[in-house]
Chains A and B, each alone.
Chain A
Amino acid sequence: MDLMEAQQERMSKEKSETLERSDENTSSINSQMSPGDRIRMSSLNVYYGNSHVLKDLNLTIEDRKITVIMGPSGCGKSTLIRTLNRMNDTVHAFKLTGEIALDGINIYSKEVNPTLLKLRVGMVFQKPNPFPISIYDNVAFGPKIHKLSKNRAEMDEIVMQALKQAALWEEVKDRLKANALSLSGGQQQRLCIARALAVRPEILLLDEPASALDPGSTAKVQELMVELKKDLTLVLVTHNMQQAATVANKVAFLYNGSLVEVGQSPDIFENPQKKVTEDYISGRLT
């Protein structure tokens, strides 16, 4: 019920966005906000202590599209995606300047509750991290915390929906009480996706979700992502070119903490504008 309210609130906000927003730090962004954009990063800088990890990024994430952030190891991809739902808040010496607006609201402003933000912006991690409890309890974990169901039947429904959405239902429907760790790596990762979907986020962040999986499982996760973008906005971090080319609508190439190039897929793969991008795509840059 909370979610529905949030959703409605968001929609009404979107409409009145341009009128309301004259207050200090959000003004510049919202004037440029196009209707399809959900997240807008402007002059985003991130530091860990003295090291400057993300340098002056400007990027928008479009609604119900897959935005891929691509780049070599250590370029700041993970930092970037973790910044989008404030997973970095507790990291030592983390500092951020600039702005990240979700539907026009700066998610780092004081009014935003980081916990509720995570309810709207879910995340799936590189290594599958199922909780060592039953499959059912894994998926029900989020809904239980946020009291999204009134009774057992409703919870069953939520769990089933999430597992179906993550294309895992058929494989686990007969053993929901089994320990999540008894699943294969690929199934575990889809379980983690189901777990994230169970709280019905609007945006799902995926941090190299297939890098620890075998090719078959990777293909399944990729299919799943394409399926999910019907209902959700996805942000995918990967250093796997094929994966990026397969699923992406929009590709942002990140190198040494700077955004080198942003383009639509497959344009960016066929006609990269910058030399670095071309080198990376052709495998000369690692």
Chain B
Amino acid sequence: MAQVETPQEKRKLVEIRGPRNFRSRVLTDKIAKTACLGVILVAFYPFADILYLFILNGVRSISWARLTENTVGGNSLGGGGLSNALEGSLFLIGLSALIVVPIGVFGGVYLAEFSNNNWISKVSRFTADILAGVPSIVLGYVGFSLLVLYFGWGFSAMAAAITLAVLMFPYILRTTELALRRVPESIREGALALGSNKTSIINRLTLRFALPGILTGVLLAISISVGETAPLIYTASFSNYATTQLFHSPVGYLTYMVFVFSQIPTSEAHALAYLASLLLVLIVLAINLASRVGLRRLTKPLESEG
């Protein structure tokens, strides 16, 4: 363009002004941009503050003894370490994921691929959305009355894991469904036209390409359940000793230490609460990083030029 411009054309370009409100529009644009940035900063400040507090105090509280020893004392004088709670948290996460991932993923596959929007799918979608909005303490109470008392499992890993599974279920179900729905219809049609049936299309194509999305949902659900306290207090209670028992044996977990030990007026208890918080943040961080690495590996074959 530039090389063919005659002097007259150049002048024309310079002379062209925007409409009368042009300057005020530019101004509005700038204000909007600044306002958006401001809101982000305001929202980010408390987050950064919390993170700073935990990391600073958490790191200060790190000691070999606190990481490897069991908790001493419970509701009053808190001391010792939190290895029982760390192990318990990981145990509960693993157990609940083991229960809920297959159910949620298969449910999502059903909703996206087989249901044809029938009434079953409408009802389950609706209930899942409601379930996602039920306060976790209510789920905890249901778990307590049904699993702990009625089934007679007592405070136990199984009761806690099932309660957490119920909490995670709607997220996994819906993200799986959405991830599968994002696979373009043309891919399914192409496979259908080759004479493949629904199951082989799902196995060989759609599930494979929805996998990153599904994994994201699963990890999101796990991250949410890691931070839960209320449902666990009702179902797992707390224990100063690590356990691998599924029934009739209370389990310790990190969020309990944050919740209870932060209220005990000794510096040793506070140190444990801070350390537990730090570990929780690290667990969530680890899950996120792992998912990113995993996603990259999963999506890699899609981008490679060979």
A interface with B by C-beta (< 8 Å): 85, 87, 115-119, 122-123, 125, 127, 129-134, 141-142, 145-146, 175, 177-179, 181-182, 192, 195-196, 199
Residues of B within 8 A of A134 (CB): 301, 306
Known: A119-B195, A134-B301, A182-B305. 5 other contacts (CB 8 A): A123-B193, A141-B196, A141-B204, A142-B194, A178-B305
Residues of A within 8 A of B192 (CB): 87, 118
Q: Kindly state whether residue B178 has any CB partner on chain A within 8 Å.
A: no
Q: Kindly state whether residue B304 has any CB partner on chain A within 8 Å.
A: yes
Q: Which of B190, B195, B196, B306 contacts A129 (CB 8 A)?
A: B190
Contact B193 A87 (CB under 8 A): yes
Contact B301 A122 (CB under 8 A): no
Residues of A within 8 A of B184 (CB): 129
Name which residue of chain B comes closest to A119, CB basis: B195
Contact A182 B306 (CB under 8 A): yes
Contact B305 A179 (CB under 8 A): yes
Range, interface on chain B: 20 to 34
Contact B306 A141 (CB under 8 A): no
Residues of A within 8 A of B193 (CB): 85, 87, 118, 122-123, 125, 196
CA distance A141 to B304 in the complex (A): 19
Distance between A133 CB and nearest chain B CB, rounded to angstroms: 7
B280-306 vs A, Cβ < 8 Å mask (1 yes, 0 no): 000000000000000000000111111
Q: Kindly state whether residue B191 has any CB partner on chain A within 8 Å.
A: yes
Interface class of chain A by DSSP: mixed
Contact A115 B189 (CB under 8 A): no
Pairs A–B under 8 Å by Cβ, sample size 7: A87-B193, A115-B195, A129-B184, A129-B189, A145-B200, A179-B305, A179-B306
Q: Which of A129, A130, A146, A178 contacts B304 (CB 8 A)?
A: A178
Name which residue of chain A comes closest to B302, CB basis: A132
Whether A87 touches B189, Cβ cut-off 8 Å, given contacts A196-B194, A199-B194, is yes
Name which residue of chain A comes closest to B186, CB basis: A129
Counting chain A CB atoms within 10 Å of each CB, the highest count among B190, B196, B301 belongs to: B190
Contact B306 A122 (CB under 8 A): no
Q: Which of B186, B191, B301, B303 contacts A141 (CB 8 A)?
A: B191
Residues of A within 8 A of B209 (CB): 132
